[in-house]
């Protein structure tokens, strides 16, 4: 992202009562070659140093998500859906670990 124009449109970091950290970063970018939708994002949920859920689209991988040690492609629709999918995955992972 060295030559492109980048504008932060969201950056939140929350420490939940159960010790889980949820951080969301979204940038508006002008590099349509690497980021055709015009956004770069990094959304992560971490517990005791372990990534429970992660969504990002860094170049050259493109859109993908992490659940634990598994990485899989992610079909990006829009920012609202991205955030909703991320939150839904967090709920599933927290429930699996008894952290809700």
Which tens digit of pLDDT belongs to each residue from 56-67?
Answer: 999 889 999 999
Identify the helix (H) or strand (E) that includes residue 76. none
Decide if 1 is inside a domain.
no
Give me the number of domains the chain comprises: 1
Residue with tokens 């140093």: 49
**What does the pLDDT look like over 62-100, one tens digit per residue?**
999 999 889 999 999 999 999 999 999 999 999 999 998
Decide if 100 is inside a domain.
no
Residue with tokens 């927290």: 94
More confident residue, 5 or 1: 5
Decide if 31 is inside a domain.
yes
Decide if 71 is inside a domain.
yes
Domain of residue 20, residue span:
6-94
Decide if 99 is inside a domain.
no
């Amino acid at each position: 992202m060295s030559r492109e124009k980048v504008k932060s449109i969201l950056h939140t970091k929350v420490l939940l009562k159960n010790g889980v950290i949820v951080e969301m970063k979204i940038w508006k970018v002008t590099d349509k070659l690497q980021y055709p939708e015009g956004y770069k994002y990094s959304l992560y949920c971490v517990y005791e140093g372990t990534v429970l859920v992660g969504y990002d689209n860094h170049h050259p991988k493109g859109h993908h998500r992490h659940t634990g040690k598994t990485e899989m492609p992610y079909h990006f629709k829009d920012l609202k859906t991205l955030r909703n999918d991320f939150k839904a995955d967090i709920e599933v992972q927290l429930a699996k670990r008894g952290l809700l």
